[in-house]
Amino acid sequence: MENDHEALPEIRTIEFTFFVDAETYLMAGGELAAAEDELFDAGVERVDVPTQFGHDLGERVPVRVVGTARGLRWYAGLLNLRDPLQREELDRVISAQERAYNAPPRAENPRGG
């Protein structure tokens, strides 16, 4: 079973920074309505939220998320993201990553893109 890993689909992760309303974020104590295993099951690999700034974060808190395209979309739903600019940017980032991955190989990048 030396080549079992070749049969597994490659999971591509994407990094995206959501900007969450600080007041809403702080009122919830910075906690999400999801458990860690739910995040992983949805395709979210890592969530980085700044904690060193305390209440001096301004109007929006940057929340960096690494996950699959499905995981990022799920996380956007978890945040109840309604900002059309952030939704558009998320779609753009996911599309760009998919285009790069599916691009034909080039001499300088034999994997594609």
DSSP string for 17-85: EEEEEHHHHHHTTT--SS-HHHHHHHTEEEEE---TTTT-S-SEEEEEEEE-HHHHHHHHHHTT---HH
- Tokens representing 26 are 């702080």
Q: Determine contact, residues 48/63, Cβ cutoff 8 Å.
A: yes
Q: 13 or 9: which carries more pLDDT confidence?
A: 13
pTM of model > 0.95: no
**Whose structure tokens read 């691009």?**
103
The mean of the pLDDT values for the chain is 79
What angle is formed at CA 67 by the lines to CA 62 and CA 73, rounded to 5 degrees? Answer: 75
- Residue 86: pLDDT band by 50, 70, 90 thresholds? very high
pLDDT single digits (tens) 30-54: 667 788 899 999 999 999 887 765 5
Q: Is the pLDDT of residue 10 over 70?
A: no
